Every structure is written in structure tokens, then in C-alpha cells.
Amino acid sequence: MSAHAKTPALPSTDELASRVRAGDRASLARAITLVESRKADHQAQARALVQALLPHTGKALRVGITGVPGVGKSTTIDTLGSNLTAQGHQVAVLAVDPSSTRTGGSILGDKTRMAKLSADPNGFIRPSPSSGTLGGVAAKTRETMLLCEAAGFDVILVETVGIGQSETAVADMTDFFLVLMLPGAGDELQGIKKGVLELADMIAVNKAEGDGAARARLAAGEYKAALHIMQQASPNWAVPVVMISGLANVGLDDMWTHVVEHRRRFDKSGELAARRRAQQVKWMWAMLEERLLARLHSDAKVRARLPALERAVGDGALSPTLAVEEVAELLGL
């Protein structure tokens, strides 16, 4: 090929949408790269592509998975995903990784640790974008989820690699939120954040094999007691606590049965549709805030004026309220 040969042009939105719907992996990867791009023309095409594919989304079971580092998320996801593909499912694993915004993140390592699923023709693993805010990463993951659904994946596993805000972000884009816990009670229980328990649709105590089985049973009892005193988020669902071993492939089928039963009940009660509607609206607002923030940082007049305003506010010569008012006027708000 000539050194001056042009990069092949992107296919049209309709053509790319058609290829994604046909399940073409190269086109799916290209579509996701388009969604993650910061170029204005790519973003415009990505928006058109997601809109074109929207009618072909929504059928997948969306499961968020979290847990502290070392709990065995990668091993559990690899084994669970492989079990599901063996049953005829197509499984996509996506990540929301706030650490990737700073360091490149650990999900690339996770991808190599999910050896079975990454080599499975019915499995697909996609790291989170490597730059931007957590909100930006979460937005891209949502769009990637829709692309995967349009491509025929019927199970989407969204892993949160980080902690804190990312757990809420993943819970806000999935139908079911699974919290993995380590065996052992007492001190470990004290470390559980109440907020995570409130998000959980199921708790799975991992590494419940061999010598860990007895400690896992003790931990499961502690977690059940902790959940018992909390108010249920839905009258149709009592959060189960199960014991599993991702490494030994023990208890994962039972765990998945709970996920499927949750889907059945929430479909029947209308809670699933209501949850997804609320998620869509929340997503809209998150993207709107991100767009406004991007405009704030990119506006030349604001950037030129901000240092002086910051100094004046810091020195006590100007109130923050008046500074905000001036910035708003510069933006025409």
C-alpha cells in the first residue's frame, strides 16, 4: 500500500447499523470506537447510530457486578459468562472503571484474566474508555451496552472496577445489581457500606470452596442478618444471599436462577419497565450536564476571564454568586 494511501472512510450510519445488527464483530468494535471518540464528526455519527439502533435494543438482561478488589470478580465473570454461552447465550462484559481515567485502569489485566470468555466466540469483553470523567465513562458504557444489544447479545454484564460513585453509576444502568463479598464475618461486615447493601439485588459470598466454605457460611449468615433489618426496595423481591465459588464453578447456576427469577417478577409487576424509563431520563440529564460542562471549559471568553474571577473570589473582593453570574452571562445562559 502506498504511504499516501487514505484511511478507509467510515461506512454510512445505515450501513454500519446494518452490520452491527447482523452481529459482525469488527463492525461492532468500530461502532464502539466511534461512540468513544471525542471528534465532533464521530460524535455526531455515533448519536445517529445509537438512535438508528435504539428500536433493536432493550431485550438483554443487564446485570451490574461489584465487589472489593480481590473478591474474585474477573474469575467469577469468566466462569459465569462461559456457563451462559454454553447454554446458548451471547454474553458481553463491559466495565465502568474510574481508575482508568487516571492510570489506564486494571480492566485490561482483567481481560487477560477472563481467558475462557475472551476466547469464546459467543463472548465479548470491552474495557471502559481510558479518559474522561466517571460520568463520561458511564455514558459511553451505556451506549456500548445498547450497541451490544443491537448486535444480538442477550446478557450484558457490567463490571464496576472502582468503588463508591461507580457502583451507583452501574446500578443506574442495569436491571440487576450483584454484590460479591469475601468469606469471613465480623470485621468484614463492618466494612460494608450501607449504600452498597441498599443497591444490591443479591449478595454472593465468593471463594466458598475448600477451607473457605465454613467462613463463607458464617459470612452469609451475617449478611442475611444485616439485610433483615433493612427495608426492602421492592415488595416483590427479598434480597437473597448465596454462596459461590467462581474458581470451582460452584453455586453459579443457582445464583443465575435468582437473576432470571428477578427478571420474571419485575417484568410481571411492571417494575422493570419503570426502572428503565427512570434510567433513560437520568441518562439524559447526565449527558446534558456533561455537555454543558464541556462547553464551560471550552469557551474561549470564559477561559480568558476565569483566572481573574478566581483570584477576585479567592481574595474576597468578589462574591462567588457574582462570579457565577458573570460566567453565565459570558455563556449566554
Q: What is the mean pLDDT of residues 159-186?
A: 81
Q: Cell numbers at residue 70, please?
A: 480481590
Residue 324 pLDDT > 60:
yes
pLDDT at site 112: 61
The residue assigned the cell 448465596 is 242
Band of pLDDT at residue 90, cut at 50, 70 and 90: very high
In the predicted model, what is the mean pLDDT of residues 69-86? 92
Name the percent of the chain lying above pLDDT 90: 51
Spatial distance between the Cα atoms of 77 and 198, rounded to a whole number of angstroms: 22
Tell me what pLDDT residue 103 has.
46
How sure is the predictor about 189, in pLDDT bands with cuts at 50, 70 and 90? Answer: low
Q: Name the more confident of 268 and 229.
A: 268
**Over 50: is that where the pLDDT of 96 sits?**
yes
Confidence at 203, pLDDT banded by 50, 70, 90: very high
Q: How far apart are CA 142 and CA 246, in angstroms?
A: 26
Q: Is 242:234 a contact under the CB 8 Å cutoff? A: no
pLDDT > 60? residue 105: no
Across the range 62-86, mean pLDDT stands at 92
Residue 82 has pLDDT above 90, yes or no: yes
For the cut 70, the answer to whether the pLDDT of residue 242 exceeds it is yes
Distance, in Å, from the CA atom of 82 to the CA atom of 113, rounded to the nearest integer, reads 13
Q: What is the pLDDT of residues 116-166, one digit of tens each?
A: 998 999 999 988 775 556 666 777 889 999 999 999 999 999 998 766 677
**What pLDDT is stored for residue 297 in this prediction?**
84
Q: Rounded CA gap, 320 and 326, in Å?
A: 10
The structure's pTM equals: 0.85
Q: What pLDDT, on a 0 to 100 scale, did the predictor assign at position 227?
A: 83
> What is the number of residues in the chain?
333
Is the pLDDT confidence value at 186 over 50? no
Q: Which domains does the chain have, with CATH numbers?
A: 8-55 (1.20.5.170), 57-268 (3.40.50.300), 285-330 (no CATH)
Query: Range with the lowest mean pLDDT among 3-7, 174-178, 219-223, 240-244?
Result: 3-7
Over the stretch 20-57, which tens digit does the pLDDT of each residue have?
Answer: 999 999 999 999 999 988 888 888 999 999 999 999 99
Sign, CA dihedral 50-55-60-61, equals: positive
SS3 content of the chain, % helix, strand, coil (to 5): 55, 10, 30
CA distance 19 to 31: 10
pLDDT tens per residue across span 267-320: 999 999 999 999 999 888 888 887 888 888 888 999 999 999 999 999 999 999
Residue 100 confidence (pLDDT): 55
Confidence of residue 17 (pLDDT cuts 50, 70, 90): very high
